[in-house]
A = this chain, B = another copy of it.
Amino acid sequence: MTEPAVASSDATNIRASISRDGDDYVINGRKWFSSGAASDRCKLSIVMGVTNPDADRTHQQSMVIVPMDTPGVVIEREPEVFGYQDRGGHPQILFDDVRVPVSNLLGEEGGGFSIAQARLGPGRIHHCMRAIGASERCLDLMIERSHERVAFGKPLAEQGVIREWIADSRIEIEQVRLLVLKTAWMIDNVGTKAARTEIAAIKVAAPNLLTRVADRAIQLFGAAGFTPDFPLAEFYAMGRWLRIADGPDEVHRRSVARAELGRLQG
């Protein structure tokens, strides 16, 4: 197909339109990088679009439930992340006069923005928790392989450079894990809003951790590290993807910096 993945017409992503028509909503627009939507276990999607274009900025959008088999829902293409389709891929979906009953509205009309805000924090920490788990798995595999594989006449487990990779991985994982745990505690006890700087911090720290640890593991495994015999390359791709998905590192660093700069005035 010739359509670029990065089109930025008015009908894309959160600018999709959701128009009331009798007892239905009619949806038109295109969403890309709809994570998980290509899985055959994906039966429903929650679509956000503009129902109230004249409302103020935070009350224009609504969310509606759209069964994936509704006529007009078309998976146009399925971009891969380094060749991986992590848990259902990240397909681009066209909504072409898709019609659902008004009872499919989530919450109330114009409430899409606040629903999205409420779930951003929990969504992000969930990604970070997965990144911690994947990092631990990489480290376990590094350790096992270090005992088994011999290079330059002795097991990797006895080689200084390899030991340094293992030590640094453990030291780094522990730090990020504790920051994720603190953030989870804050979400539970003082709320997502009060925890937003911590959420931004782990959203930078955890995906970067995973890419570092998985990269060391791939190097330790050699060419086998790229094969599907081991999950290392796929974990790397997951970490790398998370440095962009749900806000790139730069956006989250900016949030942390703003909070810090606001803490002390000149």
Q: Which A residues form the contact surface with B (CB < 8 A)?
A: 4-6, 32-33, 79-84, 90, 139-140, 143-144, 146-148, 151-152, 155, 157, 159-164, 166-168, 170-171, 174-176, 178-179, 182, 198, 201, 204-205, 215, 218-219, 222-229, 233, 236-237, 240-241, 243-245, 248-250, 252-261, 263-266
Contact = CB atoms under 8 A, between A and B. Distances in A.
A143 B227 contact: no
A10 B152 CA distance: 19
A190 B161 CA distance: 31
Most buried by B among A81, A225, A259: A81
B261 A166 contact: yes
Contacts of A250: 151, 161, 164, 219
14 contacts: A79-B223, A82-B226, A83-B237, A90-B223, A139-B260, A143-B263, A164-B253, A164-B257, A167-B252, A170-B256, A171-B253, A174-B182, A175-B178, A226-B244
Nearest to A215: B240
Interface residues of A, dominant DSSP: helix
Given A33-B223, A260-B143, A253 B201 contact: no
Contacts of A219: 243-244, 248-250
A243 to B, nearest CB: 7
A227 B241 CA distance: 12
Contacts of A228: 79-80
